[in-house]
Chains A and B, each alone.
Chain A
Amino acid sequence: MPQANYEEIIDFAIKREKEAVQFYTELEHIAHFASQKELLAEIRGMEEGHVKILENLKNKSLEVIKSHPAPKFSPSTYLVEAQPAADMTYQDILIIGMKREDRSHALYEELRQQTDNPKLIETFEMLAGEESKHKRFFEDLYDKYVQPDN
């Protein structure tokens, strides 16, 4: 991957985001209740937004997109992975979302470390920032709705 060109990197990222869309679509099918489906659909919508951003990147300059650095030790680092299941709770779905974003963030960070190409560094930073931003969104929801008393 570090030797890949810019187009290939973007295509790789698009593929990952499309996998995420597929993942949440499947979860929607697994889920039994409308409350679960509503939340999963919202998350899927965010992933679809990622795909659009990346597709636009192929034709646009990167300078206008700012990255969002992630805090080093956020809740997603010490929360236990939740398993997709028909009876997923709100907490489970948010943890699944956080963990996925966390892994994507780590991957783009890793890729950024392995290249000297300034344009690719900028691209990976942007992608890592996007993942971090969404992870933070889930963490905020988790904080507000799952552990309001802590």
Chain B
Amino acid sequence: MSLKDILSPLTVWRRVAEKPYTVIDPINDRPGAPRYRGFHKNDMNTCIGCGTCETICQNAAIDMVPVEGVDTTKEDSGLRPKFDYGRCCWCALCVDVCTTSSLSMSNEYIWVDTDPEVFRFVAGAEEKPWDNNELGYQRAEGYRLLDLEREEMPELEPEERLGSFIEMVQGYSAEQAKEEADRCVDCGICVATCPAHMDIPGYIRSIREGDINGGLALMYETNPFPASCGRVCTHRCEDVCSVGHTGDPLAIRWLKRYIADQAEQRAYQAIAASAEDERPEHVAVIGAGPGGLSAAYYLRLLGYKVTVFEAESHGGGMLRYGIPEYRLPYDQLDKDIEFIHSLGVEIKYNSRVNHDLPFHKIYEDYDAVFFSTGLPDPYTLGVEGEDHPRVISGISILEDVTDGKIPELGKTVAVVGGGNVAMDAARTARRLGCEVTVLYRRREVDMPADIEEIVEAKEEGVTFITQAIPVRVEDRGKQAAFVWGEARMEDQGEGKRPKPVLQEDKMHTDVFDTIVPAIGQGTSLDFIPEDLSDKIGIVKYKIKVGLHGETGEPKIFAGGDIANPTKDAISAIADGHRAAKGIDAYLQGKKKEA
């Protein structure tokens, strides 16, 4: 051993006096860079549990899990992302793709613990020291992985629309549909909101993958009116679309239409499901609207014989007689109905129950009855002078036009109401060359009509007067004077529509060639015999039904507008589907009893 070998270890003592190389208090002495991709943060109130972060994570480091205190709603899956830091590589793709911008990262990077389980955690749900740290990675302004802009739908210009009933919306091209479908993040939040629970991500995926027939078959699993709903569905699914939180929601309705438009009706047989083996039971359906025909379709698929009784000369109910052709062309509605008919569903048109055929006879002759007769009777304004010949209901104008009659409206028309019927009547009158004024009791923001209907009505030159309460109609020879008063809005508390209160000192009189009430519709239910109606259960002129449309009378089921407060086609379709399952359970249960 040399002397050097003995002395050299002692040289290390030299370092004692030098500045240390390690960081003694790294969090305070060496913080992460301001945009460092450190530990995750999640704003639990903004997060909707769409799971897009989970889908994009390349390391499978995110699981969507239920969290105490977070409820499942129509707009929120109730799940939240749980991070596994044994897998995470802090790439921040989850933050970049987050649909609501709830996810971000702190710039903290030191977390010491002896328990490995703690490194799997739900950000935002479990309190962490970095929760209020403002520094860290956030998506740069304007940088998005998602395409936030909707493919524009080609439409006729307002001046082209007037003067004809040509369909206004022209539909996506294949390229546009694919572009729009590519925007979908496949989260499925929309499915819960759709009354029919259609597999929306599934059929959108079919467009991306070029499998149109697969998409159509998927739609028919829950909705036998794809061509119609692809045009006039109230598309509440779009209201909750996760992409819509920071951009334009997916054009789900238009994508549905795109699929339906690609397949010829005669090709449907090969695409959609066919009827199962024949069953001996025969079910009667009263009303060939969306609810009745939906029930008929699903009952037929189960193998039941189905006969539909319809009072009018054509099927479709309000889809035909309440929606003008420029929104839903009749050939598209017929395409849906024809396919249902082609499966062997018998439809007896011009058969008004209790006029042409007693309800009792149907009740006795069939194994089960489903009725979905809608709300065809318009309510009147209820004001003095309303029996004037120049007062014509909105529904009757729409029915006339459907039947090919041109109603004589004159030049100036007042439409009273703010719902879709009012908008459709107003826009129909514009197409017939009238100057149209819509008068509504509340504010524009309170109007129940779809916003697009209001916007399009304005584009087409309809004038709006809001906070206008109808008071009476006066005779002016071939014209009628509409007397209305200005309304003061009285707040009714949170979640309630304000109440319009008449200001008697602010009255107006305007003269019109025609006054068109379109304030609401009801039904008399007079076709149901008294002995049966007592059993069925009627509350405030509505049929009381269970989850599967069952009434108080086991053999009778009901659905659609006469039972469902959500008065739209897709809700009626869903009711029809559920009732078909209910009727199946009832008939099969009866068999077992026997």
Chain A positions within 8 Å of B, measured between CB atoms, are 32-35, 38-39, 71-75, 77-80, 82, 87, 89-91, 95, 141, 143, 145-150
In Å, the complex CA distance between A82 and B381 comes to 12
With both chains docked as a complex, state the minimum distance between the C-beta of B437 and any C-beta of chain A, in angstroms.
Answer: 14
Q: Which of A71, A89, A90 is B501 in contact with, Cβ under 8 Å?
A: A71
> Is B417 a contact of A33 with CB atoms below 8 Å?
no
Q: Is B5 an interface residue (CB 8 A)?
A: no
Task: Write the chain B residue with the least CB distance to A76.
Answer: B382
> Which residues of chain A are near B380, meaning CB under 8 Å?
91
> Which residues of chain A are near B417, meaning CB under 8 Å?
147, 149-150
In Å, the complex CA distance between A33 and B471 comes to 31
Q: Which of B448, B519, B524, B540 is A33 in contact with, Cβ under 8 Å?
A: B524
A79, A91, A143, A149, most chain B CB atoms within 10 A = A149
> Which residues of chain B are near A75, meaning CB under 8 Å?
382
Q: Could you list 14 A-B pairs, sorted by A, with CB under 8 Å? A: A35-B533, A39-B541, A74-B501, A79-B383, A80-B386, A82-B382, A90-B522, A143-B499, A145-B541, A146-B522, A149-B417, A149-B418, A149-B449, A150-B519
> Which residues of chain B are near A32, meaning CB under 8 Å?
526, 530
Chain B, 538-557, contact with A by CB distance < 8 Å: what is the 0/1 string?
Answer: 11110000000000000000
Q: Is B502 an interface residue (CB 8 A)?
A: yes
Q: Known: A34-B533, A74-B501. Contact between A145 and B528, CB under 8 A?
A: no
Q: Which of A33, A34, A73, A91 is B379 in contact with, Cβ under 8 Å?
A: A91
Chain B, 506-544, contact with A by CB distance < 8 Å: what is the 0/1 string?
Answer: 000000000000111010111010100110101111000
Q: Is B150 an interface residue (CB 8 A)?
A: no
Interface residues of B in 398-425 (CB under 8 A from A): 416-422
Q: Is B25 an interface residue (CB 8 A)?
A: no
Q: Known: A35-B541, A39-B540, A71-B501. Contact between A147 and B379, CB under 8 A?
A: yes
> Is A78 a contact of B383 with CB atoms below 8 Å?
yes
> Which residues of chain A are near B536, meaning CB under 8 Å?
34
Task: Write the chain A residue with the least CB distance to B504.
Answer: A73
> Is B541 a contact of A34 with CB atoms below 8 Å?
no
Q: Is B490 an interface residue (CB 8 A)?
A: yes
Q: Is B147 an interface residue (CB 8 A)?
A: no
Q: Is B578 an interface residue (CB 8 A)?
A: no
> Is A71 a contact of B379 with CB atoms below 8 Å?
no
Task: Write the chain A residue with the least CB distance to B539.
Answer: A38
Q: Is B278 an interface residue (CB 8 A)?
A: no
> Is A33 a contact of B526 with CB atoms below 8 Å?
yes
> Which residues of chain A are near B490, meaning CB under 8 Å?
71
In Å, the complex CA distance between A62 and B179 comes to 71
With both chains docked as a complex, state the minimum distance between the C-beta of A51 and any C-beta of chain B, in angstroms.
Answer: 23
In Å, the complex CA distance between A150 and B442 comes to 7
Q: Is B254 an interface residue (CB 8 A)?
A: no
Q: What 3 A-B pairs have minimum CB-CB distances, sorted nearest first?
A: A149-B419, A34-B533, A150-B519
> Is A149 a contact of B472 with CB atoms below 8 Å?
no
Q: Which of A35, A73, A77, A150 is B524 in contact with, Cβ under 8 Å?
A: A35
Known: A34-B538, A148-B519. 8 other contacts (CB 8 A): A33-B524, A34-B528, A35-B525, A73-B502, A73-B503, A91-B382, A146-B522, A149-B449
Chain B, 438-449, contact with A by CB distance < 8 Å: what is the 0/1 string?
Answer: 001110000011
With both chains docked as a complex, state the minimum distance between the C-beta of B501 and any C-beta of chain A, in angstroms.
Answer: 6
> Which residues of chain B are near A79, meaning CB under 8 Å?
382-383
> Which residues of chain B are near A78, meaning CB under 8 Å?
383-384, 469-472, 502
Task: Write the chain A residue with the least CB distance to B377.
Answer: A89
In Å, the complex CA distance between A80 and B470 comes to 12
> Is A146 a contact of B524 with CB atoms below 8 Å?
no
Q: Known: A34-B533, A89-B377. Contact between A145 and B522, CB under 8 A?
A: yes
> Is A91 a contact of B522 with CB atoms below 8 Å?
yes
> Which residues of chain B are near A71, meaning CB under 8 Å?
490, 501
> Is B538 a contact of A38 with CB atoms below 8 Å?
yes
Q: Which of B383, B416, B420 is A80 in contact with, Cβ under 8 Å?
A: B383
Task: Write the chain A residue with the least CB distance to B469.
Answer: A78
In Å, the complex CA distance between A135 and B380 comes to 20
In Å, the complex CA distance between A130 and B520 comes to 29
Task: Write the chain A residue with the least CB distance to B502.
Answer: A73
> Which residues of chain A are near B440, meaning CB under 8 Å?
150
> Which residues of chain A are near B379, meaning CB under 8 Å?
89, 91, 146-147
> Is A80 a contact of B382 with CB atoms below 8 Å?
yes
With both chains docked as a complex, state the minimum distance between the C-beta of B450 and any C-beta of chain A, in angstroms.
Answer: 12
> Is B448 a contact of A149 with CB atoms below 8 Å?
yes
> Is A145 a contact of B520 with CB atoms below 8 Å?
yes
In Å, the complex CA distance between A89 and B524 comes to 6
> Which residues of chain B are near A35, meaning CB under 8 Å?
524-525, 533, 538, 541
> Which residues of chain B are near A34, meaning CB under 8 Å?
525, 528, 530, 533-534, 536, 538
With both chains docked as a complex, state the minimum distance between the C-beta of B400 and any C-beta of chain A, in angstroms.
Answer: 20
> Is B501 a contact of A80 with CB atoms below 8 Å?
no
In Å, the complex CA distance between A77 and B382 comes to 11
> Which residues of chain A are near B541, meaning CB under 8 Å?
35, 39, 90, 145
In Å, the complex CA distance between A143 and B526 comes to 23
With both chains docked as a complex, state the minimum distance between the C-beta of A71 and any C-beta of chain B, in angstroms.
Answer: 6
Task: Write the chain B residue with the least CB distance to A93.
Answer: B541
> Is A148 a contact of B524 with CB atoms below 8 Å?
no
In Å, the complex CA distance between A39 and B525 comes to 13
> Is A33 a contact of B528 with CB atoms below 8 Å?
yes
> Is A149 a contact of B519 with CB atoms below 8 Å?
yes
> Which residues of chain B are near A95, meaning CB under 8 Å?
382
With both chains docked as a complex, state the minimum distance between the C-beta of B273 and any C-beta of chain A, in angstroms.
Answer: 37
> Which residues of chain A are near B534, meaning CB under 8 Å?
34
Interface residues of B in 166-204 (CB under 8 A from A): none
> Which residues of chain A are near B533, meaning CB under 8 Å?
33-35
> Which residues of chain A are near B520, meaning CB under 8 Å?
145-150
A33, A35, A89, A141, most chain B CB atoms within 10 A = A35
With both chains docked as a complex, state the minimum distance between the C-beta of A144 and any C-beta of chain B, in angstroms.
Answer: 9
In Å, the complex CA distance between A34 and B527 comes to 11
> Is B419 a contact of A148 with CB atoms below 8 Å?
yes
With both chains docked as a complex, state the minimum distance between the C-beta of A81 and any C-beta of chain B, in angstroms.
Answer: 10
In Å, the complex CA distance between A71 and B502 comes to 9
With both chains docked as a complex, state the minimum distance between the C-beta of A102 and any C-beta of chain B, in angstroms.
Answer: 14
> Is B540 a contact of A150 with CB atoms below 8 Å?
no
> Which residues of chain B are near A141, meaning CB under 8 Å?
540
In Å, the complex CA distance between A100 and B541 comes to 21
In Å, the complex CA distance between A59 and B502 comes to 40
